[in-house]
Structure 1
Amino acid sequence: MKPLISNKILNIVTVFTVAMFFSCQDNFKEVQKIGISENEPIGVDYNLNLKYTDSGRVAANLISTKTLDYSNRDFPFNEFVDGVQLDIFHEENRKSTVVADYAIRYTETELIDMQGNVVITTHDNRVLKTDQLYYDQKNEWLYTNEHVSFKSEQDIINGHGFDSNAKFTNAEVLEVTGIITLEE
């Protein structure tokens, strides 16, 4: 009699175990989201000093005191809330620098929106100043519709709007409001 009761208990436990096993779902992504609000960043970096290398040489250096990572969103982005500085190193150690009070980089579109005291200084001392500047990383294109001041080799050009490739070989102030010619 004892083996019969033992077999019944074993069968009942087996049925419950199998039922529980097949009723479980893969909720790993849901478990990861527990405790993370959709409106909160998934990470915060302080004193970020990120170096990008290409073929063993430093090609760029990104510095920011506080960066928020919103890669958990449907439209992921990184926000540089306390300013950002990007040093770009060209061949022969020529350096260009981009500085802004605030920046946001959209991951999917590869668009960077820089705001507040945006200054680009190229390796050959051309300087662009504006309140907002966009950089399209895919097309390597800079543009704005805001007021700009652009110092070229011989002029300071003020106006509204700016278009240029990333190397500034075709930099253009769109609506020129004034030109100051520099003396040598």
Structure 2
Amino acid sequence: MSFNKLILKSIAVVTLAAMLFACEGNLNEVNKFNIEVDNPQGIAKNINLFYTDSGHVKSNLRSPKMLDYSQEKYPYRIFPIGVEVDFFNKDSTKNTIIADSAIIHSNSDLIDMRHNVKIITADSLILTTSQLFWDTEKQWVFTDRDYKIRLANGTENNGTGFDADQEFTVFNSRSNTGVQVIEDKSL
């Protein structure tokens, strides 16, 4: 083998090695960028938000923490350690929803509340379930999960799946059983 061919092969090997190391460095930079994209765009703590319409408070959302993923293809905000929302009715009474976590899907007006979801209405109805969806546009709540309702008079209802307006003046249950307390006004 001639000296020139040996030099050309050496140069080719060194160039190939340099390219491989350069690609590895770029790959590490790309992976680092991917990790950063998976992080939230913003983090908020001790949130206390009011929603008003025409000067009237419609709702109040409180949470210890919110993670904002608005940069994602399907943007969302998550409340990973609890959320509490008060909805104020026209007569100034309120309904409250409490959940261990919640996700607001920005493109759909849908809020997904999960784990130990509890609704307390102005007339003392208490509803519990493991997951509840709230359509903010239609002002409608629904679930396909098991639920339990307890009324102030002692009535209890267990069921699977319901939908209702957010004031609970309309309530449609898919299946239920329970104990109904009926007052006898003739006595």
Which TM bucket (shorter chain)? 0.7 to 0.9
Amino acid at match of 1:147: D
Cα distance in 2 for partners of 1:135, 1:126 equals 18
Question: 2:96 — aligned with what?
Answer: 97
Cα distance in 1 for partners of 2:168, 2:81 equals 27
Question: 2:45 — aligned with what?
Answer: 46
Cα distance in 2 for partners of 1:61, 1:138 equals 16
Cα distance in 2 for partners of 1:140, 1:57 equals 16
Change (3 A) 1:112 1:136: same
Amino acid at match of 2:117: V
- How is 1:154-173 mapped onto 2 (pairs within 5 angstroms)? 155-173=155-173
* Structure 1 residue 153, shift from structure 2 partner: 6.3
Is 2:148 the partner of 1:149?
yes
Structure 1 alignment gaps of length 5 or more = 1-33
Cα distance in 1 for partners of 2:92, 2:169 equals 19
* Structure 1 residue 74, shift from structure 2 partner: 1.2
Cα distance in 1 for partners of 2:41, 2:35 equals 7
- Identity percentage over the alignment? 37
* Structure 1 residue 35, shift from structure 2 partner: 9.6
Secondary structure of the corresponding residue to residue 37 of structure 1: helix
* Structure 1 residue 107, shift from structure 2 partner: 0.4
Cα deviation 1:59-82 (Å, max 9, x = unaligned): 211000000001111110000011
Cα deviation 1:6-58 (Å, max 9, x = unaligned): xxxxxxxxxxxxxxxxxxxxxxxxxxxx8982211100000001111222232
Given the two structures, how large is their TM-score scaled by the length of structure 2?
0.73
Cα distance in 2 for partners of 1:156, 1:140 equals 25
Cα distance in 2 for partners of 1:156, 1:166 equals 20
Cα distance in 1 for partners of 2:116, 2:65 equals 17
The answer to whether the 8 Å contact 1:158/1:173 transfers is no
CA RMSD of the aligned region, Å?
A: 2.0
Question: 2:114 — aligned with what?
Answer: 115
Secondary structure of the corresponding residue to residue 92 of structure 1: coil
Count, aligned residues: 150
The answer to whether the 8 Å contact 1:76/1:107 transfers is yes
* Structure 1 residue 124, shift from structure 2 partner: 1.7
Secondary structure of the corresponding residue to residue 65 of structure 1: strand
* Structure 1 residue 181, shift from structure 2 partner: 2.1
The answer to whether the 8 Å contact 1:134/1:144 transfers is yes
Q: Segments of 4+ in structure 1 off by > 4 A?
A: none
Given the two structures, how large is their TM-score scaled by the length of structure 1?
0.74
The answer to whether the 8 Å contact 2:95/2:167 transfers is no
- How is 1:19-58 mapped onto 2 (pairs within 5 angstroms)? 37-58=36-57
* Structure 1 residue 143, shift from structure 2 partner: 1.2
Secondary structure of the corresponding residue to residue 63 of structure 2: strand
Amino acid at match of 2:160: H
